A and B are shown apart, each in its own frame.
Chain A
Amino acid sequence: MTSREISLARQQTGEPLFLRSPVRPWFAVKDLMWLAYLYPLRWLARVCSDRFWFGLQRLADPLYRWIHREPIRAAARRMAAGVPASPEAAAALAKLYIRNALQRGFDDLAFGCGRPDAGSHPPLITGLEHLERAAQLGRGVVTFSVHSFATRSAHRALRSMGYPVVVVRARTIPVSFGRFGQWALGGAYTRCLQNLAVESISNDDPNVTLEIARRLRAGWLVHIAPDSRVSATSHLVPFLGTERRISSGILDIARICRCPLLPLSAAYDGPRLRIGLLPPLELHPAPGAEAHTRANLPLLSAELERQIRANPAQWEMWVDL
């Protein structure tokens, strides 16, 4: 059965198009963390001095690592197998991974409160000429990356340089929320993310692909991360030594809208932000949607794997934080 047939069948049977969340506990420690993040920390970020703010970030680092000691171990195991890396190197990468997660959290708070974040500092950008050339084709540009901690800052940086950026993203509550958190904090979480992202299109909006096409025609840069698993067009592919669901919708959009697909990678490098743009994927022409997906999905997944292996500590999906 093809992905389109599965998608049609799901619509006909009324089965939700998106993966169900696992059963949530009534209350999770993460609920408390999110409560602190969404309210007192946000208020603090608005009023405290820069010195206090950076001090707080340094203080939070060991606490955040202690809270996430089990995810660090799990991430290290997966990194050792997937990158691959020695156990020692994987353990160091996993610590950096958690630090990047924290930096993203503080960056988002800073941005939401008008403080400078990584995206507002001059980023180190390579390959901007590829974006310029792709934009000159006049069909809009789809950029894609894995889910990386620094991607939001990269979008904000590109927007501040004058590029009209819109992101396709899920608006689901993370599985790390307990039922209390989902009920009491879900709305604030969604609003917070909407304020933090550059403009976004929800991937569960029934008009999502038509809206993407509309933006592309108007010359927008549309960013999609195909490694989300939460997609109606996902395929199981070999990935980092195991298997993972990758969405092929991005390939359909490129085929139908004839727009270039540009790999974009974003990484924190200490306080700096690095953004890398590569030439568009050279997609193989193929007759029909299914043949096109079959021919080009390996190209897409290979680029996603390359991005993760180049910067393993930046990929946020090693474990669910």
Chain B
Amino acid sequence: MAASTQTTSRILRVLNDGLGANVTDEDLRGVSRLDDILPLDSIAVLEFAIALESEFGIQFAGEQMKREFFNDFASLTKFLDAPPNPPQ
């Protein structure tokens, strides 16, 4: 199942508004790894994770707090499409 456009747009908003990146829809099209278009240092990855939690009203579990989880853009968007603890 492909990730929804709405989820991708929300991630884009987090990247641009939360992290001050300058990523466009075009950049994200067909991208499977986030670090291909935007290498994030360890502080930026943490900032990204916390901003995603705030945007999607979730809390990532311990096993998800890995850099690889956030760099794998395809899996991340699929996860955020149907998070296990969705907002009430």
Chain A interfacial positions (CB closer than 8 Å to B): 4, 7-8, 11-12, 206-214, 217-218, 232-233, 249, 252-253, 256-257, 288-289
Contacts and interface: CB of A to CB of B under 8 A. Distances in A.
25 contacts: A4-B43, A4-B44, A8-B39, A11-B39, A11-B41, A207-B42, A207-B66, A209-B42, A209-B45, A210-B42, A210-B45, A210-B46, A210-B67, A212-B46, A213-B49, A213-B50, A217-B59, A233-B43, A249-B43, A252-B46, A253-B43, A253-B46, A256-B47, A257-B50, A289-B43
7 closest residue pairs by CB, A with B: A7-B41, A210-B65, A209-B46, A209-B42, A214-B65, A252-B43, A11-B39
Contacts, number: 58
Question: What is the predominant secondary structure among interface residues of chain A facing chain B?
Answer: helix
Contacts of A217: 59
B54 to A, nearest CB: 11
Nearest to A5: B41
B87 interface: no
B30 interface: no
A212 B65 CA distance: 10
A252 B59 CA distance: 19
B19 to A, nearest CB: 9
Contacts of A218: 62
Interface string B1-42: 000000000000000000010000000000000000001111
Nearest to A8: B39
A232 B62 CA distance: 24
Nearest to B47: A256
A294 to B, nearest CB: 15
Given A257-B50, A289-B47, A214 B42 contact: no
